[in-house]
Structure 1
Amino acid sequence: MPVNRRDIVKGAALGAAAMAAGPAAAAPAGGKIVHHVFFWLRNPESAADREQLIAGLRKLAAVDVVRSLQIGVPASTEQRDVVDSSFHVSELMVFDNVADQKTYQDHPVHKDFVAKCSHLWAKVIVYDMVTV
């Protein structure tokens, strides 16, 4: 199929406009907030510590703004350079918006979880994103 010069110019103009608008313009308003937390246990060989952390995480579902809660441990998938399975426990939550995620952070159930379980972990990393 022959390439039309007008289509090339139109595509270049659209691409330039999108790049000039910046990354914030690409994210639609109103996306869900996904909150993914990775925990490294202080005593990784302790099954009791892992189960105590998982039990604490399960209680977070009681916070009314939490739309979804998944808890897991590293999967036995193929080991590749891009896969980091060094964590011990992970939780993934979904919120309707940033305000709900803030409500969760300040909620007594979340604060109680941190108070009762923070002694179990040596490291925590959080990834928050908005869905597009």
Structure 2
Amino acid sequence: MSTRREFISNTGKAMVAGGLVTLTENETPHMIENKFIHHVYFWLKNTGSKEDRAKLVEGLQKLSKVTTIKTFHIGMPADTNRDVIDRSYAISWFVLFDNAADQASYQVDPIHLKFVEECSHLWSKVVVYDSVDVK
């Protein structure tokens, strides 16, 4: 019978050997460069309405079909609580474009216009943060 320490050590070795855990030296985070970031926060009119939240998420999923979008993320407030964190929004929409021209094209894209037409009745407030690289 092995000790607890031996069991944990052997389990860890087996996970690495089996490819369940990958260890790399000097792994660094990937920086997003030369992109236009568009981050939108939505507050629902019917705060706490699961139906309205689902409709907004569905609308954003349709909106993700705009061809100039390179990457997107639909999110909700994380369960983190510190004085600097604002968790009052319902849904966030993070979008990555190649450049400002692609973002401008997105604003007038028929898919975006239809999203606003079909979903704007769901929100009471929208805040947008656009950013580009520090030069």
After TM superposition, is the score higher than 0.5?
yes
Report the number of matched residues.
102
- Partner Cα distance (1:74, 1:116) in 2: 23
Q: How does 1:1-132 map to 2 (within 5 A)?
A: 31-77=34-80, 79-132=81-134
- Partner Cα distance (1:131, 1:64) in 2: 22
Identical amino acids, percent of aligned pairs: 51
Offset of 1:83 from its aligned partner?
0.5
Residue 116 of structure 2 aligns with an amino acid whose one-letter code is V
Residues 65, 104 of structure 1: 8 Å contact kept: yes
- Counterpart of 2:64 in 1: which secondary structure? helix
What is the CA RMSD across the aligned residues, in angstroms? 1.1
- Partner Cα distance (1:69, 1:125) in 2: 17
- Partner Cα distance (1:45, 1:36) in 2: 22
Superimposed CA distance per residue, residues 51-97 of structure 1 (whole angstroms, 9 cap, x where no aligned partner): 000000011111110000100111112x1111111100000000000
- Partner Cα distance (1:63, 1:118) in 2: 18
- Partner Cα distance (2:133, 2:46) in 1: 34
Q: Structure 1: which 5+ residue stretches go unaligned?
A: 1-29
Offset of 1:38 from its aligned partner?
0.2
- Partner Cα distance (2:64, 2:41) in 1: 17
